Amino acid sequence: MTPISFDLAEPHGPRRPVDVLIVDDSVVVRRIMAKVLAADDRFSVTGAVSSGTQAIDFVRNQPVDLVLLDMQMPGMDGLEVLPRLLASERKVQVVLLSGTCREGSEIALQALAMGASDVVAKPSAGHFSDNFVEHLLDRLGHLVPAPERNRTPERIDEESARLRPLGTMVRAVGVGGSTGGISAIMTLLSGLNPGNAFPIFITQHLPANFQPLFAEQLHRATQRPVVIAEEGLPVRAGVIHVAPGNAHLSLVREARGRVTIRLSRERCLHGSFPAVDPMFLAMARVYGPGACGVILSGMGRDGLAGAHAIIEAGGWMIAQDHASSAVWGMPGSVARAGLASAILPPGSIGELILDQWQTAA
């Protein structure tokens, strides 16, 4: 899911291929998928199994970076197997393949909310066209490579983390998340009253075709107006502005003081679209001490550079705690750097923001 490209060239030599496990009850599909991946030197097929139980055992005992998981299988289906795979200490990425679940559907978004990296519609075994193969490899090529996951911070004692003072101003709130971030965002926003007079910006690592349903679910859950960010769109207080899936959400303050959306497609450190760093950097530039950044569950370190910018501008950061995170990479990197004013579960984050906003009002 997280659109971070497999740029396999490292300054110190090429990266190793990504180890892939194929899970499908059809032997034909397993053979086709293995052949497709074997033809791409970015990937190495380390195994192919026919059931969820076999997949769980394989991941427990063998090195795996990425699991291609069939949604419909006898016994445990993909949604049942997914959380067990994600609970592995190996920090695997899971892409669900479904012959019946439409990309961008509510079931697909549910899988993403549970921590899947992507959901791709799968044709029947005899209809793996060149277009599908190209589409699949493109989607897999926008996932976090193994070396990036290996740089995820180790678990630290949150009680000993160095915390900054709480912010005293809330002019805008920016929320960034990736794997496991969707459910955290919903919980966080439920702690904010719909009438809060500050804009909210959200960058969640999601493919573009999921953004409309994500925005719809945000509206249903929060009763706030929700818009997908467009170039030149005026920023409005009380509105949730969601980064599109094919560009970064940035901001500019015009001569008369009006803040508008700017979309950027410049490659950032993590190569993702959308990335959290550009949003945080823009908030620091536009809102200064009134910028409140929130970093939620996700692999890697997207958001760390932007968090530095918010702190340097006088704003403040909140990180999701380890216990409630599906992956404590992104929030852990901010906590470890001593940039967070609080490390909390999502529900408490919303309450804290509301308290600080009401205190300053």
H/E/C letters for each residue in 32-101?
HHHHHHHCCCCEEEEEEECCHHHHHHHHHHCCCCEEEEECCCCCCCHHHHHHHHHCCCCCCEEEEEECCC
Q: Choosing from 50, 142, 205, 297, which is the catalytic residue? A: 205
Please say whether the beta carbons of 333 and 298 come within 8 A.
Answer: no
- Residue 161: per-residue pLDDT: 77
Tens digits of residue pLDDT in 111-156: 888 888 888 888 876 578 888 888 888 778 766 454 444 444 445 4
Q: Which of the residue ranges 11-25, 65-79, 80-94 has the most confident prediction, judged by mean pLDDT?
A: 65-79
- Residue 149: per-residue pLDDT: 46
pTM over 0.85? The answer is no
Please say whether the beta carbons of 69 and 23 come within 8 A.
Answer: yes
- Clarify whether 205 is annotated catalytic: yes
- Residue 273: per-residue pLDDT: 81
- Residue 9: per-residue pLDDT: 35
Q: Which of 22-26, 138-142, 152-156, 346-350 has the lowest mean pLDDT?
A: 152-156
- Clarify whether 302 is annotated catalytic: yes
Q: Choosing from 98, 178, 264, 297, which is the catalytic residue? A: 178
- Residue 218: per-residue pLDDT: 92
Tens digits of residue pLDDT in 236-280: 999 999 999 889 999 999 989 999 999 998 877 666 689 999 999
Tens digits of residue pLDDT in 303-321: 999 999 999 999 999 999 9
- For residue 12, name the pLDDT band (cuts at 50, 70, 90): very low
Report the DSSP pairing between strands 226-228 and 240-242: parallel
- Residue 3: per-residue pLDDT: 35
Task: Name the more confident of 342 and 271.
Answer: 342
- Residues 193-208 as b/e (b if ≥16 CB within 10 A, e otherwise) read eeebebbbbbbbbbbe
Domains in the chain with CATH codes:
9-150 (3.40.50.2300), 160-360 (3.40.50.180)
Tens digits of residue pLDDT in 158-216: 666 789 999 999 999 999 998 889 989 999 998 887 778 899 999 998 878 888 889 99
Please say whether the beta carbons of 61 and 90 come within 8 A.
Answer: no
Q: Choosing from 302, 308, 321, 348, which is the catalytic residue? A: 302
